[in-house]
Structure 1
Amino acid sequence: MARRTVTTAAVAFTATATLLLTACGGGGDDSSKGIKGADTGSGTPSASASKADSDAPDLSLPDDLHLVFDFAKPSDSQHAAALDTATDYIRALKHGIVKQNPDDPAYQYYSVGAAAKYAKSQIQAWVDGGWTPTGTDKYYDAETAKVGSTGVLVTFCRNQAKSFSKKIKTGKTHYTKESLDSYQKFSILMRPLSDSAQAWKAQQIEVQGRVKECQG
């Protein structure tokens, strides 16, 4: 697990990220653009804040869908909390897809702004296609970086080679072979919210496709 400090300008994402959730494809939009830091947040939530919250939504997934987060815990409590919530955001997004609900309360609980917009657009694309995810989705090589005075940028790789799409009406799974398309890199800007039951929320997200550095 690596920690570093990033200047505000260094995390201004490009406006045309490749936004894909599975090898067979979900929808995408340009909601990842314009990250300029997390100074609008305040407070110093603890690493265990999200797990201790009794109001946290259900993130359960079906038995045929497995999310693997192969992350080392950061030594810094703020970075650990940000990373922990970033994983919950991914789980919540998947939960919304499984429930076929673009307005699922789970992702709304863990995200705001462009990150929430991204989650909704992805869920809607799966609903429109009549697909649901199945298989094993692996996330790894996480890094955290301080942004501004309070924000944390969380980045990690994804290998979706064993994650597939299943047609809801027929139950037929669409299998794909592992390729460079299987590898993605996520960058999620997390911000602390002192006035929210959920201490951290995903604010912005960029997903890059065909990332060779994640393949090794």
Structure 2
Amino acid sequence: MTRRPTLLAAITLTAAAALSLSACGNDDSSGKNDKIAGADTSEEASASPTPSTSTAVSDRPKITLPSDLTLDFEDTKTGDAVKDAVLSDNAERMRAVDAAITGTDPKGEAIGYYNTGKALDAALAWVAEFKDAGATMTGSARYYDREVTLKGKTSAGLTFCADEGKGFSKDKKTGKVSRTPVTKNSYVFYNTRLDKNPDGVWQTSQIISTRGAAQCQP
């Protein structure tokens, strides 16, 4: 069985000095963007996850999101079973991060199941940033142009775009939603690496995001 960290201890650490809710990959010089970025980059975080035992593929963690948050994944079927598995586990990875942020997976069990290495560090840091700011997510995000490149039996590259124009951060105490207009920074390009662990799970090991990427804009 593989080992996975839990989020409970890690989210209590400060993940960033600034509490702007912008993605690490945001190229906006102002450093402020209240869109959902549902994600993060592969930069190493200061969080120190605590390892625990993983569950088997047949007993995957159940991920649920609050009723006011919707993630839509396109291009889910390629006709290739391996590529489809990569796409499916990537989608679960993105949902796992948002579930931890929104509180439907407070221990972050799914984060440790679908992430490893630098991607895990970044995911924990992203969740901690929301926690420290007393914020959560609402709205919707769409993921599209998802393309898988197999690099052997246990490694794959995956690039995709995200439209976060209808996703926002929300204050947990007041419920106030930080609505911002759609701009080029509402579109994000992701370049990721996934590695298949001994349990057969395609874990994201590296993830880099580029906000405002031209190839993702309509």
TM over 0.5: yes
Give 5+ residue unaligned stretches, structure 1. 1-16, 33-49
Say whether residues 1:24 and 2:34 are aligned partners. Answer: yes
In the other structure, the counterpart of 1:202 is: 204
The verdict on how the C-alpha distance between 1:54 and 1:119 changes in structure 2, with shifts beyond 3 A counting, is same
How far 1:53 moved relative to its partner? Answer: 3.7
Aligned mate of 2:132, from 128, 131, 137: 128
Do the aligned partners of 1:102 and 1:123 also contact (CA within 8 Å) in 2?
Answer: no
Do the aligned partners of 2:76 and 2:88 also contact (CA within 8 Å) in 1?
Answer: no
Q: How does 1:29-44 map to 2 (within 5 A)?
A: 30-31=42-43
- The runs of at least 4 consecutive aligned structure 1 residues that moved more than 3 Å come to 25-30, 100-103
Indicate the SS of the match to 1:127. helix
Higher deviation after alignment, 175-184 or 72-81: 72-81
The 2-side partners of 1:63 and 1:181 are apart by: 25
Match of 2:43, as an amino acid?
S
Do the aligned partners of 1:71 and 1:140 also contact (CA within 8 Å) in 2?
Answer: yes
Aligned mate of 1:75, from 65, 76, 79: 79
The 1-side partners of 2:26 and 2:152 are apart by: 26
Match of 1:57, as an amino acid?
P
Do the aligned partners of 1:19 and 1:206 also contact (CA within 8 Å) in 2?
Answer: no
Indicate the SS of the match to 2:156. strand
How far 1:199 moved relative to its partner? Answer: 2.4
Give 5+ residue unaligned stretches, structure 2. 1-23, 45-54
Aligned mate of 1:150, from 154, 178, 202: 154
TM-score (norm 2): 0.74
How far 1:209 moved relative to its partner? Answer: 0.9
In the other structure, the counterpart of 2:52 is: none
- 1:27-67 per-position Cα deviation (integer Å, ceiling 9, x unaligned): 966527xxxxxxxxxxxxxxxxx9x9442112101100000
The 1-side partners of 2:26 and 2:151 are apart by: 23
How far 1:91 moved relative to its partner? Answer: 0.4
RMSD: 2.7
Aligned length: 179
Do the aligned partners of 1:102 and 1:124 also contact (CA within 8 Å) in 2?
Answer: no
The verdict on how the C-alpha distance between 1:29 and 1:128 changes in structure 2, with shifts beyond 3 A counting, is farther
TM-score (norm 1): 0.75
- 1:169-190 per-position Cα deviation (integer Å, ceiling 9, x unaligned): 1001010000001000112211
In the other structure, the counterpart of 1:118 is: 122
Indicate the SS of the match to 1:178. coil
How far 1:102 moved relative to its partner? Answer: 7.7
In the other structure, the counterpart of 1:171 is: 175
How far 1:100 moved relative to its partner? Answer: 8.2
Indicate the SS of the match to 2:82. helix
Aligned mate of 1:213, from 209, 212, 215: 215
Aligned-residue sequence identity (percent) comes to 30
